[in-house]
Amino acid sequence: MRDTFVKTLIEIAKEDKNVHLITGDLGFGVLKPFWEQLPDQFTNAGIAEQNMTSFAAGLALEGKTVFTYSIGNFPTLRAVEQIRNDCAYHDANVKIVCIGGGFVYGSLGMSHHATEDLSIIRALPNVTVLAPGDLIEAEHATRAIYNHKGTCYLRLGRGGEKRIHDKIDDFQIGKAIKIKGGEKVAIFSTGAIFDEALEASEILSKEGINPALYTFPTVKPIDRLTIEECAKNFDLIVTVEEHNVVGGFGSAVSEVTAELVGTKARVLKVGLNDMYSSIVGSQKYLRGVYGMSASQIAEKVLENQKDA
């Protein structure tokens, strides 16, 4: 996803000289093409993410469209006060980009596990939150936040994500994308963990359950219409996120269903169960440790179907 983001941003920045990219002293291998081609639109702020964010807000308030770039929690949790006070409060045109949502940097430990970022950033007024599920969604999301005025958060994987779409004809901020229809169970996924949701749906199909499958590139504003429609027509909605289940994507979906009258769907949230990871390992390994693998998602759906 990060290569797709950089390639897309270069195309945008060549057309718009007001686009500026700031890195917190990271990503030089992947950002090299940007600074080589557009040196006047690039700044290395050093290992100082709070300063980077305030600097970005200042540029934005002077008419620039600014992208800040770093990994894991660094551009978000380390700088949350600056995002709140300097960017969001002023509706500044700053686009915060996190490479490595979830357990991407799993071998580097808890400090690099981005598992609370969605909940914390979506709680800030005036911030739009996107977490694309594949390369095509990442490209569209990059262009969408560029065109969207105000503060945005873009949560990306690192690389090697499975391709979902051949193309997307009508990508919109705030709209989920239906991958396939189904009966009784609807699986909602956000971010790069979509590959586990897709594989889980294939496992369930072999067990006689045909789940509908949706990807939610936008976490805020959440697609209320899709959630409401599924809540009316399915028995179980399963949310899948590589993130804490408290306050994140599953909570955003639950906030919608809790206000509905006369619907039948229950919500099952799959994610990190309100804890920190004290274990290190690959992203795939940690998903399995914390109950987010495809087989574990399918098992939880089957258990909940039996209880229904």
3 state SS for the chain: CHHHHHHHHHHHHHHCCCEEEEECCCCHHHHHHHHHHCHHHEEECCCCHHHHHHHHHHHHHCCCEEEEEEECCCCCHHHHHHHHHHHHCCCCCEEEEEECCECCCHHHCHHHCECCHHHHHHCCCCEEEECCCCHHHHHHHHHHHHHCCCEEEEEECCCCCCCCCCCCCCCCCCCCEEEECCCCEEEEECHHHHHHHHHHHHHHHHCCCCCEEEECCEEECCCHHHHHHHHHHCCEEEEEEEEECCCCHHHHHHHHHCCCCCCCCEEEEEEECCCCCCCCCCHHHHHHHCCCCHHHHHHHHHHHHHHC
Residue 199 annotated as catalytic: no
Q: Which of 36, 49, 116, 299 is catalytic?
A: 49
Active site residues: 49
